[in-house]
Structure 1
């Protein structure tokens, strides 16, 4: 009986490790894939500025970069990976804050497209097994938002 319990525990651990490795490989692959379309956006609220670059990939997935410069905080610089579901972009934002590039944070984001404007939604976030998710059953608010993105020209850096 003890051997069966140990076997089940090891099997569950193996599944979690396998899933985590697959997700990391896919994220790296998406970041390196050549986009078919790139759009840039900016949101300004009081003294805060968020710059967003959205790359549309062949399979419809989205990758890109986002820089959040919020008043009285070090800038958050990172990458997004996600997909559109209808008119809403659901993505993971992996970023470092300020000069501390060794510690990576990861949060879910949701951005709703309304005409030519994109609204960064507010929602309850929960952590489960080290990952952050929007709470299921709790709506993401796209009406009472601070950050509304408008299209801007992309800056080419080489």
Structure 2
């Protein structure tokens, strides 16, 4: 009976170790800023709201960056943008913290239409599927009746 218990413990340990190894292999590779082919900074101001956006473009077409949203009467949102352009539209995921609560992160899909030198943040219907939010397939994203139109600004280190 002792041998069976030791065997089960050994199999469990091996299983847990293999899960741990799989997790580390699936970790997203953080791209180095030095590898970016371009860096662009934008700002959108609407009434009392100010949004700052910094985008890095990489050779493979991936866009990484960060965005800070200071919206009137709301805690500041600070986070990362990751996405890619499909035609003239940047589809991205915004992972952010709100206010001083660094323990809880939020993740929202975003779509930015590139029109001239501006980026226009679109409004679309979002649904939650298995804990992940995404735009509803087949529903249009509105880029006309919007609050936030980002204009290029100088990047500040």
Partner of 1:130: 131
- Once residues 30 and 110 of structure 1 are traced to their aligned partners in structure 2, the CA distance between those partners, rounded to angstroms, is 22
- Once residues 96 and 114 of structure 1 are traced to their aligned partners in structure 2, the CA distance between those partners, rounded to angstroms, is 29
Deviation at residue 32 of structure 1 after TM alignment:
6.5
How many residues get paired?
136
Partner of 1:41: 42
- Once residues 85 and 45 of structure 2 are traced to their aligned partners in structure 1, the CA distance between those partners, rounded to angstroms, is 23
Provide the aligned C-alpha RMSD in A: 2.0
Decide whether the 8 Å contact of 1:31 with 1:64 is kept in 2.
no
**Local SS of the residue matching 2:152:** strand
Decide whether the 8 Å contact of 1:33 with 1:57 is kept in 2.
no
Give CA-to-partner distance per residue, 1:109-154, whole Å, 9 cap, x none. Answer: 0000111111000001001111110000100000110000000000
Give CA-to-partner distance per residue, 1:79-134, whole Å, 9 cap, x none. Answer: 00000000000000000000001100000000001111110000010011111100
Gaps (5+ residues) in structure 1? Answer: 1-16
- State the TM-score, normalized to the length of structure 1: 0.81
